[in-house]
Chains A and B, each alone.
Chain A
Amino acid sequence: MNRDNDKGKVLINRSLILGAAQFLFLIVIIFRLYYLQVYQADKYKTLADENRISTRLLVPPRGVIYDRHQEMLATNRQNFQVMIVAEQTPNVQETLDAFKKIMPLSAEEEQKIKKDLKKNRSFVPIKIKDNLTWEEVSKIQLNAPDLPGIIIDEGLSRYYPLGEKTAHVVGYVSSVSENDVKDDPLLEVPGFKIGKAGIEKLYEKKLRGKGGNLKLEVNAYGRVMKEIERIDGIPGEKVDLSLDARLQTKAYDLFGEESGAAILLNVHTGEILAFVSIPAYDPNLLTQGLSSTEWKELNSNEKNPMVNKALAGQYSPGSTFKMVVALAALESGAITPQTRSFCAGKMFLGSHAFHCWKKEGHGYLDVVQALQHSCDIFFYETAQKLGINKISEMARRFGMGEKINIGLENEKPGLLPTTEWKRRRFGEPWQQGESLISGIGQGYILTTPIQLATMTARIANGGYEVVPTFEKFGLENKPEVKKMSLSPLHIELVKQGMFDVINVPGGTAFGSRFDFHGQKMAGKTGTTQVRRITMKERQSGIIRQEDLPWKFRNHALFVGYAPHDNPRYAVAVLVEHGRGGSSVAAPIGSKLLLEALKLDATSQPVE
């Protein structure tokens, strides 16, 4: 009985303890709730927002690149992509099979699509093909009922209307690579492309614009539920180039199958109107991305389509260098306008024979005639009197021997040798014979086509230090151009020589002359050997250029300006292994100058 009472009491006591324990536990729960929902609420609110808000960058449209007449050189084109969304089709394989009947897919492509489908969630669109044509788009849309899950998406892709014709100026855009500086979050956007060469690279920042922000609410699987906020970016700025698309096209087309470079400048402002390096690559293909075999092919082509020969090609200037030698000689007094030399076809320095290109010789010539006939003996003798240092000094004043810094990549400085340079470079003294061959633009001297164009423009404008540029100048922002301290008479003599080259019978480019409403051009040809002619060959007869393999043929050069009376345009043409300056390079230069004059005539009222 007592024990039973005790049993009941124990139960009541213990139950009260149990109840109190349970009460305490619920208090703990409430404290925990308070801790999480009040004390740590801010932290968890941030985490919840990080979960649900996905911020995406909005890619701004890239700036358009125009020529001087608002012709588009680089623009953005609608790019149609066909995609598949797995969750919208009952059977992915069936849809793909049906699609293949409309547009064939390679096994490789199909495998990649399936891999992407597996990797991504079923609502993520997977790209099947891009850069669809209109016909392809309409074909797919026509068959839409048989293609569940297939959608067509529009994006913007870079397009170069002139393709390879402007490739070496405008450059191209391509996917961001590991080596690119990631200074902008836009670069992390999949599929984003940046300028990799040319103006696209030079003005990358300006063309790119500023990315916008899109805040989206996403669920745990990454599906977009709604748009929260959209801040539009700033579109890329346009770029106006000095180029004239018509002259650019003309220059490119004039080369035909030949390889080389041509530059056409405004002699007063330095504005580049045409700038080609041939052959070129198709920037539209590079923008889409090339396969590794296509890359290899481009880079192993013996005509180097990826190299910008106008800036990065260093060549002996050959006879186009003779104006600089003549000016150096006249300015230093080594020769006078009246100085005459006798050309017998060859001359000797010690026991070594130096040949004129004309075996039988030119007889007596003054400096103007020497330029007209491109007599080598005259310039050997002149260079001998002058010495290499004065030649190089004058060449430097005309823009050679260092980079012009036009802004495009891989520009080369060329080379102007001096006695000091040779001692440093080879530890040997300068040889007089080396001065002689420098007098005809051979030997150590190397120039780039853009430097030759600069030289020609500075001669044509009467000795003003214009600098080539892709910048377009208006009336209000004409560049300031310094005048070089040269005797106007000496420049006139050189120009006379260049005029005679074209317009006087016997001139080396007489065949390329034109008379457009009284406007004539002046110029100078050049032909440089890429192989040594041996004594034996000289005796047995020099092998005809046509019989040599392409890469052993001579380089052909031409520099010129027009109109002679009031120069506006200067041109430099290099045809790699083009055999002869007169026969191959001069006609190209002549036609390009004539085209420039003709276009001038159409854009300006005739007086």
Chain B
Amino acid sequence: MYKFYETGFKSQTLSLKEKFQGLSFAYILFIVMLAAIGVTMLYSAANGSWRPWALNQLIRFGLGFAVMIGLAMINVRIFMRYAYVFYFIVLILLIVVEVTGHIGMGAQRWINLGFIKLKPSALMKIALVLALARYFHSSSLQSIESTRGIIIPVLMVLFPAFLVMTQPDLGTALMLLFSAGAIFFAVGVQLWKFGVVLLGAIITMPIAWHFLHDYQQNRVLTFLNPERDPLGAGYHIIQSKIALGSGGVFGKGFLKGTQSHLNFLPEKHTDFIFTMLSEEFGLIGAVAVVIINFLIIAYSFSFALKSSSYFGKLLAIGLATNYFLYVSINMAMVLGLIPVVGIPLPLISYGGTVILSVMAGFGIILSVNINRNINIGKD
């Protein structure tokens, strides 16, 4: 059936050189720019020192960069082939974390591999996109628009989301749900179904409220009214807004953020690094970061649209949305638009797992772009 199209190409596989030439250097440049900004901010967060964060971050970015290029060199068909396998491996890791976590000392979210602490929940963000892309690649529009046809993918989402939620990691669980929701929307699930889910969520909210941990309830309450606990949970939001606002248009200058350097701003090297950046480099610096992030997302979408395979398209859209969720949730959080949920700003915040998972995502998106002309069969 597809032979007609396939004959149009010399080969379904590309040589390494061809692949390398197919890399989007602009895309990579944006990524490197963000990482450089991140390292700079971490240098500032340590009051002008490479230690303890900037140097580590640089090494991790280097590692992530290698992972990205490595994945970009892989044929997109391979991703298709091993999508489910990967999904199940990560799911098992999540269960292992869950079990050992309960046996061990309370909440544990990672597996220690010695050189790196692996967070299965971060891997799940990629694995879920891969698995859903493969599932929807293989199903018909009819099946997608039927209720029965989306039961399996819904379960594929809910099971890991539930595991992550119980870790407890509400932020990551929500991200899984949101990026899955975006994929469901993209493939054409009817809007009324989203409406039903939303309605159900609102109805079950009071019940779910009781299952939230105290600190999670506090975060939500504090978001709704930061002044209710100005020295506790509300302190973060208040101090973050003060830092941002006082930065003004041009910022206070590199290493000169008073809120950051005098420790009024908490978590300045992780979740609140964007605040610190906005304090030191002002509106100009902050908007520049938003624009670079927008470019990365826009390029990812354009790669998706140029890809000839449904799988490739969906994969790029899912991973780009995943990255968008990181960026937007973090920024909205530090800007006081949503509750503090503990989502870092990828590439800029300090943290190895996030860098690796995001860079892996970029690698796969690059691969989709390199292999944009390759067709993939229905299975």
Which residues of A are found within 8 Å of B327, using beta-carbon distances? 26
B185 CB to closest chain A CB (Å) equals 6
Q: Are A11 and B314 in contact (CB under 8 A)?
A: yes
B99 an interface residue at 8 Å Cβ cutoff? no
Q: Are A52 and B262 in contact (CB under 8 A)?
A: yes
Which residues of A are found within 8 Å of B335, using beta-carbon distances? 29, 32-33, 36
Q: Are A37 and B262 in contact (CB under 8 A)?
A: no
Q: Are B283 and A33 in contact (CB under 8 A)?
A: yes
Binds B, one of A213-221, A352-360, A559-567: A213-221
**Cβ contacts A44-61/B at 8 Å (1 or 0 each):** 110111011000000000
Binds A, one of B32-40, B200-208, B285-293, B362-370: B285-293
Q: Are A44 and B245 in contact (CB under 8 A)?
A: yes
Which residues of A are found within 8 Å of B298, using beta-carbon distances? 19, 23
Which residues of A are found within 8 Å of B331, using beta-carbon distances? 29
Neighbour of A18 across the interface among B282, B294, B317, CB < 8 A: B317
Known: A15-B301, A33-B290, A219-B263. A38 touches B258 (CB 8 A): no
A41 an interface residue at 8 Å Cβ cutoff? yes
Binds A, one of B10-18, B54-62, B76-84, B138-146: B138-146
Residues of A38-88 whose CB lies within 8 A of B = 38, 40-41, 43-45, 47-49, 51-52
Q: Are B258 and A14 in contact (CB under 8 A)?
A: no
Q: Are A218 and B262 in contact (CB under 8 A)?
A: yes
Which residues of B are found within 8 Å of A1, using beta-carbon distances? 1
Residues of A243-301 whose CB lies within 8 A of B = none
B303 CB to closest chain A CB (Å) equals 11
Q: Are A18 and B246 in contact (CB under 8 A)?
A: no
Report the nearest A residue to B327, measured CB to CB. A26
Report the nearest B residue to A221, measured CB to CB. B263
Q: Are A18 and B186 in contact (CB under 8 A)?
A: yes
**Cβ contacts B288-320/A at 8 Å (1 or 0 each):** 001001100110010011000010011001000
A333 an interface residue at 8 Å Cβ cutoff? no
Binds B, one of A2-10, A459-467, A580-588: A2-10
Known: A3-B140, A41-B248. A33 touches B287 (CB 8 A): yes
Q: Are A7 and B293 in contact (CB under 8 A)?
A: no
Residues of B217-262 whose CB lies within 8 A of A = 239, 241-249, 258-259, 261-262
Report the nearest B residue to A25, measured CB to CB. B328
Report the nearest B residue to A23, measured CB to CB. B294
Residues of A184-220 whose CB lies within 8 A of B = 217-220
Q: Are A47 and B188 in contact (CB under 8 A)?
A: no
Q: Are B188 and A11 in contact (CB under 8 A)?
A: yes
Q: Are B258 and A51 in contact (CB under 8 A)?
A: yes
Neighbour of A36 across the interface among B140, B142, B241, CB < 8 A: B241
Q: Are B262 and A219 in contact (CB under 8 A)?
A: yes
B189 CB to closest chain A CB (Å) equals 9
Which residues of B are found within 8 Å of A36, using beta-carbon distances? 241, 244-245, 335
A340 CB to closest chain B CB (Å) equals 92
Q: Are A220 and B262 in contact (CB under 8 A)?
A: yes
Which residues of B are found within 8 Å of A11, using beta-carbon distances? 186-188, 310, 313-314, 317
Inter-chain residue pair count (beta carbon < 8 A): 145
Q: Are B278 and A26 in contact (CB under 8 A)?
A: no
**Most B Cβ at <10 Å: residue of A28, A33, A217, A225:** A33
Known: A15-B313, A220-B264. A37 touches B278 (CB 8 A): yes
Q: Are A220 and B263 in contact (CB under 8 A)?
A: yes
Q: Are A34 and B187 in contact (CB under 8 A)?
A: no
Q: How far is the CA of A23 from the CA of B290 in the complex (A)?
A: 10
B197 an interface residue at 8 Å Cβ cutoff? no
**Cβ contacts B310-345/A at 8 Å (1 or 0 each):** 100110010001001001100110010100000000
Which residues of A are found within 8 Å of B249, using beta-carbon distances? 37-38, 41
Which residues of A are found within 8 Å of B246, using beta-carbon distances? 41, 44-45, 47-49
B182 an interface residue at 8 Å Cβ cutoff? yes
Which residues of A are found within 8 Å of B287, using beta-carbon distances? 30, 33
A244 CB to closest chain B CB (Å) equals 57
Which residues of A are found within 8 Å of B310, using beta-carbon distances? 7-8, 11
A231 an interface residue at 8 Å Cβ cutoff? no
Q: How far is the CA of A196 from the CA of B1 in the complex (A)?
A: 105
**Cβ contacts A407-446/B at 8 Å (1 or 0 each):** 0000000000000000000000000000000000000000
Q: How far is the CA of A12 from the CA of B317 in the complex (A)?
A: 10
Which residues of A are found within 8 Å of B294, using beta-carbon distances? 23, 26
Which residues of B are found within 8 Å of A28, using beta-carbon distances? 337
Report the nearest B residue to A10, measured CB to CB. B188
A22 an interface residue at 8 Å Cβ cutoff? yes
Report the nearest A residue to B145, measured CB to CB. A10
Q: How far is the CA of A45 from the CA of B249 in the complex (A)?
A: 12
Which residues of A are found within 8 Å of B293, using beta-carbon distances? 26
Q: How far is the CA of A160 from the CA of B157 in the complex (A)?
A: 83
Which residues of B are found within 8 Å of A221, using beta-carbon distances? 263
Q: Are B242 and A40 in contact (CB under 8 A)?
A: no
Q: How far is the CA of A451 from the CA of B1 in the complex (A)?
A: 128
Residues of B175-194 whose CB lies within 8 A of A = 182, 185-188
B287 CB to closest chain A CB (Å) equals 6
Neighbour of A29 across the interface among B182, B187, B248, B328, CB < 8 A: B328
Q: Are B332 and A44 in contact (CB under 8 A)?
A: no
Q: How far is the CA of A217 from the CA of B264 in the complex (A)?
A: 12
Which residues of B are found within 8 Å of A25, using beta-carbon distances? 324, 328
Q: How far is the CA of A136 from the CA of B296 in the complex (A)?
A: 70
Q: Are B141 and A51 in contact (CB under 8 A)?
A: no
Q: How far is the CA of A109 from the CA of B246 in the complex (A)?
A: 46
Known: A14-B185, A26-B290, A29-B332. A43 touches B264 (CB 8 A): no
Q: Are B283 and A38 in contact (CB under 8 A)?
A: yes
Identify 21 residue pairs between A and B in the complex whose beta-carbon atoms are under 8 Å apart, listed by A's number. A10-B188, A11-B187, A14-B186, A15-B317, A29-B335, A30-B287, A32-B332, A33-B278, A33-B283, A33-B286, A37-B248, A37-B249, A41-B246, A44-B244, A47-B242, A48-B258, A217-B258, A217-B262, A219-B261, A220-B262, A221-B263
Given contacts A10-B141, A45-B245, A51-B239, 6 further A-B contacts (CB under 8 A): A15-B186, A19-B297, A26-B293, A33-B286, A44-B242, A48-B259
